[in-house]
Structure 1
């Protein structure tokens, strides 16, 4: 049988560090069956070519001859081949120049094996990644932190590549670059990534970059701590195991520190992770329920504006292009359709939509962010372009007075179809003349006029807003409504009837309608002065200066400041519910209380993670680690042992110098 790809040991003698033949050795003297199926399990936990059956030898040789990539192969045969790679890297390369020359080819082979079998076996994935790290970092380059981060395997400890890159930043005195910090956050077992950070990986990466710069400036500055970086390799092959000890090769890196022993930098990193995750929570829940919504309007509304995908930006631009003279009228349902909405909009989503539109320079009426009643799909809405320098677009007592004035005026303007256009034009000119408004407020009021022209406010809906208003102020507002019927020079019976209803709604004597209308027609100046005990300032309304209403609304505002914020009760019971019938409340992603080992506190957990990174420790090394963590060495070892006994009924470590880590505890932690 021909094995064209090589990378195997063939012969009758290949001693291990403990004298016996290496289990990877293909011994031609051993019998081989005529057939063998490498898809069947035919090996023990630690396979050896010399000890498996002839059928298993045939299966193994067949797998080798086939190219070593068939995903159907049993992982026991993969490990048997892997033992040979371990030996070549760990035993031969340090003393054999030819073996060192082969290291790049071995690294490529390891990547190929990981691609074929890494997903099928966590144990193989762990060992293969460890060996690959050894190959790539045995002669490590300087300033590793400046290079792109390669694909790394998750493990119970931070990968050596990142530990080395982070240690180099400490030695060189440079901040941790953002791409290294992101990989650190994703790979560190002591940093907790909530569901949004994992489910929405691309969005999280963008938010992480933003938050890292905000919180850390140029980056986290790591101290040059005392614990030196070392890499202890845990061999998979039984050839590295004697009767009572394990040969564990080690790499050292000079004065480069192991920063994973520190808890302070990890806390800073966790704060960045939490801040980057928070804005993604709602988006993550929606996408988690239905991944098809990932780029839908409903999902994007939950994201910060910088994260919007191009498709959504194009939808917003299309909406802007539909505006004639900066305004577009449509139903709420048509607006949602134009924005490619796919689900029923709740109150929360409608508010989010209004915020998104405003962030894009588009105003929205009714002003749901100003607590207007939420529209139904069939209700009319008006979208409008906000001026580039719009200033405040809502708020302030004078602005609320103007809104109330237009709402009341809509009941009068709409009472006579033949003259309503002229009166609407009069109101538009009045709004444009109100100098106390910002450009954004004026644009909003003009859009509100369009909306009121289609759907005038009912007097019943307005009545509650005037319950707390003093009678003199109500009479002043009623008199202003009387001036509105005069722009066209005619007063119809329908208009007089509507005015009477307005007066009744305000609690003003309807008999005053005729005198106020005649007073307005004559250009009479109306002056109402509340009693001094109520208010020291008088209120004047001059029908001849209606176009400069701001002079009067400034005075009216003192009396009406507390009535223009619509209460939840005024919006009705339907608006109080934000979850439509049949839709379940969104789930939450709660962070666990700890990412520590064995229920230990952060310092002892960090110490325990360092301990399991190699089998044997000198007391001197452990004193450095304990010092970095502000722990007393003997007390820390005893505390960790107690926790191990409580959790698994086995000790964590034994001995005083050296300190030997119990191999069983490592298997428990990996499990």
Structure 2
């Protein structure tokens, strides 16, 4: 059996070999290919289905905190990749313990994973980008923000990583946190270029700019380029953002306030003042409506052009044929680039403004009415930011005229201003020397009384109420104290200033210190009297001075007997009323002068110098007049006779003629001896005295011709105020042009382009020939800058960049 079995197996082996040789070669090749494919598929499936070995699990925070309760051991199954031999109950226990551990761990780890089938997959939120990254945003007013480690308070800036300007480039105002910032930077040094940009600035310049912002944007010595960089953001907020975002307008009031604050610090820069002024005009116009000339005038800086708001308000008034209010006229005067205001108008701005409005209405009633000229108002906003360059930003006003093409109205306003500054010249100089003195009575009396504080005006009214018959006597010290002064020494300048101020209120003062009279001392009597302001110059004419000297001699003579009685005073008042060659104002001052003489009679010695100026004929006439005046009370006393002798002697007339003259005039022809006259005096005939009184006017008229030349003592006047040579503006127009061509030049620079018809209207308003005027302006520009101001014919293109050079 064993052999048979072995033999049959051999035959099978031989048969298999034979079969192999009998199968064709091609069949074996295909079978080999199929076998290799099956083997490869098997190996790939085996590799993909095989689980990778799990690394040892790292301990979690829960494992570490369990400490002594359970020491963490990595899983043997995960470490070796084989299943340990154990019984089923032990395996189940291990699985339960492992699940418990995983459940405890999940509550202590830093994250949790969802276990329910319906919950979303695990996710996390991207944190907000730091300040200075992401899209650029406007930081509202009052908000603080940190950039490059610097706190920037106050807001009103743009911060972010990207923000496009209207011209497509990165906006120059954007503060990007992606830009490198140096550790130090000095905003006081001149570094920024003509078109500053935060993106194009150096790291040192960025640090300087951030430092200026962090310190409150108030350093007066900051490079103006950094101020402009901040201004670009305000400009974008007003011009660009407000176009698409109505909420941006809510920031306009605070932006306007910030612009005015910056102008108060950096307004000396002509360029910044102009751009900031135009943006203010845009804000005010966009936020206003109706008849602007009836509304309060906003505060604008003075720039190269009259602010658009004022041009529109004045144009509306011209269309409506409405009078220009005083406040609007004052703003036009102050902000008109063709007006040169003297120092008094700027140093004493409040006083000048009030006085100008008073004089304006005194001269023009309710106000000037402007003609409706042909030049039409149009505003083309010229942006400061390079991101807005090339953008056409305009504002039209239908048929409103542009009054800046008129020169006659502003000349009238300038004339009023010159008179006001003349009246404020002394006060302005005192304020420049000693501001504390200007606040007291010494400064107050240098102002027109209409500008006095209400309390001082009330004191003045109290004095006026005390007048009887239109006159009031009091000492100089009492007058000063009554008006709010002190009992300290009173200077000559204060007395003259007080007299000048009182004249402006309708009150005169005797003695007439403004006409050369002696300055009274503190305890000397002065007399206040009613005097129209239009008659303030009374007292300087020859007739008046002659009559005043006559009263002075009469008062001295009346005091000769020690009794200047009421009868003599009444006689002299009657004489004053009878001098018909004098005006009522002169007679009023003479009455006050007589009241002053009753309290402060002059001496003959004090009058001698004045009498020396008389001619011999005039002295003869004056001697005869004094003899007649001695008879006014009906009796000539021995003392009066002696005084008359002194008067005759002072006049160069024989003293012995006193007796004959007095006797001939009043004794009715009865002879009298010299001895009797010296001891008993004269008794006069009443009828003869009445006749003499009727002849007083004739005698006084003769005396009025005494002065051939004005006596030096009486001609002394208060010296004219020293000229105020300081000027706030150049006295000449830009490029040396006259007023009309300067006005046309400013109109041209207000827009980059004009049609010929528009320019012809402007030239007509200015009474200029257009072609000749343009040629003259271009020649002036060539002389100054080697380039023309305007080119072309219709339209005419204006080189507005010359404005910066002209302003400088």
TM-score, with normalisation over the residues of structure 1? Answer: 0.76
Q: Displacement, 1:510? A: 4.5
Q: Does 1:428 align with 2:574?
A: no
Counterpart residue number, 1:209: 357
User: Is the CA contact 1:156–1:669 (under 8 Å) kept in the aligned structure 2?
Assistant: no
Q: Displacement, 1:352? A: 6.1
Could you tell me how far apart the structure 2 residues matched to 1:267 and 1:396 are? 37
Alignment of 1:79-94 (within 5 A): 79-94=228-243
Deviations 1:383-402 (A, max 9, x none): 2354799x999789799569
Alignment of 1:197-236 (within 5 A): 197-236=345-384
Counterpart residue number, 2:393: 249
Greater C-alpha radius of gyration: 2
Match of 1:451 among 594, 600, 623: 600
Q: Displacement, 1:651? A: 1.4
CA distance 1:110–1:75, shift in 2 (3 Å)? farther
Counterpart residue number, 2:257: 111
CA distance 1:425–1:135, shift in 2 (3 Å)? closer
Counterpart residue number, 1:30: 179
Counterpart residue number, 1:563: 706
Q: Displacement, 1:177? A: 1.9
Could you tell me how far apart the structure 1 residues matched to 2:551 and 2:185 are? 92
User: Is the CA contact 2:473–2:527 (under 8 Å) kept in the aligned structure 1?
Assistant: yes
CA distance 1:459–1:293, shift in 2 (3 Å)? same
Q: Displacement, 1:657? A: 4.1
User: Is the CA contact 1:169–1:222 (under 8 Å) kept in the aligned structure 2?
Assistant: yes
Could you tell me how far apart the structure 2 residues matched to 1:408 and 1:566 are? 23
RMSD over equivalenced CA pairs, Å: 4.7
User: Is the CA contact 1:23–1:238 (under 8 Å) kept in the aligned structure 2?
Assistant: yes
Could you tell me how far apart the structure 2 residues matched to 1:630 and 1:433 are? 61
**Greater mean deviation of Cα atoms: 545-554 or 594-603:** 545-554
Counterpart residue number, 1:163: 311
Counterpart residue number, 2:193: 44
Deviations 1:611-663 (A, max 9, x none): 11122334454344344445454443333211100122221123344433224
CA distance 1:119–1:590, shift in 2 (3 Å)? closer
Q: Which runs of 5+ in 2 are unaligned?
A: 1-129, 132-143, 146-153, 579-586, 672-683
User: Is the CA contact 2:259–2:280 (under 8 Å) kept in the aligned structure 1?
Assistant: no
Alignment of 1:134-213 (within 5 A): 134-138=282-286, 140-213=288-361
CA distance 1:23–1:342, shift in 2 (3 Å)? farther
Q: For 2:797, what is the secondary structure of its paired residue?
A: strand
Could you tell me how far apart the structure 1 residues matched to 2:597 and 2:189 are? 76
Counterpart residue number, 1:279: 423
Q: Displacement, 1:471? A: 5.5
User: Is the CA contact 1:297–1:312 (under 8 Å) kept in the aligned structure 2?
Assistant: no
Deviations 1:446-503 (A, max 9, x none): 431332277875567546547214868845744764787946xxx66x6665454444
Counterpart residue number, 1:586: 722
User: Is the CA contact 1:474–1:506 (under 8 Å) kept in the aligned structure 2?
Assistant: yes
**Greater mean deviation of Cα atoms: 599-608 or 447-456:** 447-456
Counterpart residue number, 2:386: 238
Q: Does 1:612 align with 2:749?
A: yes
Match of 1:53 among 191, 197, 202: 202
**Greater mean deviation of Cα atoms: 468-477 or 252-261:** 468-477
Counterpart residue number, 1:133: 281
CA distance 1:551–1:368, shift in 2 (3 Å)? farther
User: Is the CA contact 2:619–2:653 (under 8 Å) kept in the aligned structure 1?
Assistant: no
Could you tell me how far apart the structure 2 residues matched to 1:644 and 1:550 are? 78
CA distance 1:81–1:399, shift in 2 (3 Å)? closer
User: Is the CA contact 2:621–2:703 (under 8 Å) kept in the aligned structure 1?
Assistant: no
User: Is the CA contact 1:430–1:548 (under 8 Å) kept in the aligned structure 2?
Assistant: no
Counterpart residue number, 1:384: 527
User: Is the CA contact 1:230–1:252 (under 8 Å) kept in the aligned structure 2?
Assistant: yes
Deviations 1:517-562 (A, max 9, x none): 7889xx732599xxxxxxxxxxxx8566658863242343354332
CA distance 1:458–1:669, shift in 2 (3 Å)? closer
**Greater mean deviation of Cα atoms: 316-325 or 610-619:** 316-325
CA distance 1:136–1:435, shift in 2 (3 Å)? closer
Could you tell me how far apart the structure 2 residues matched to 1:114 and 1:266 are? 26
Could you tell me how far apart the structure 1 residues matched to 2:213 and 2:253 are? 18
CA distance 1:334–1:178, shift in 2 (3 Å)? closer
TM-score, with normalisation over the residues of structure 2? Answer: 0.65
Q: Displacement, 1:174? A: 1.9
Q: Does 1:264 align with 2:399?
A: no
Task: Give the total of aligned pairs.
Answer: 628
CA distance 1:230–1:542, shift in 2 (3 Å)? same
Match of 1:20 among 169, 173, 181: 169
Could you tell me how far apart the structure 1 residues matched to 2:632 and 2:766 are? 80
Alignment of 1:297-446 (within 5 A): 303-310=447-454, 313=457, 328=473, 340=485, 344-345=491-492, 353-354=498-499, 356-357=501-502, 364-367=509-512, 374-375=517-518, 381-386=524-529, 404=550, 407-408=553-554, 410-411=556-557, 413-414=559-560, 420-421=562-563, 424=565, 427-428=568-569, 430-431=571-572, 436=577, 441-446=590-595
Q: For 1:230, what is the secondary structure of its paired residue?
A: strand
Q: Displacement, 1:601? A: 3.3
User: Is the CA contact 2:445–2:501 (under 8 Å) kept in the aligned structure 1?
Assistant: yes
Q: Which runs of 5+ in 1 are unaligned?
A: 529-540
Counterpart residue number, 2:100: none
CA distance 1:303–1:542, shift in 2 (3 Å)? farther
Could you tell me how far apart the structure 2 residues matched to 1:355 and 1:63 are? 52
Q: Displacement, 1:89? A: 3.0
Q: Does 1:120 align with 2:266?
A: yes
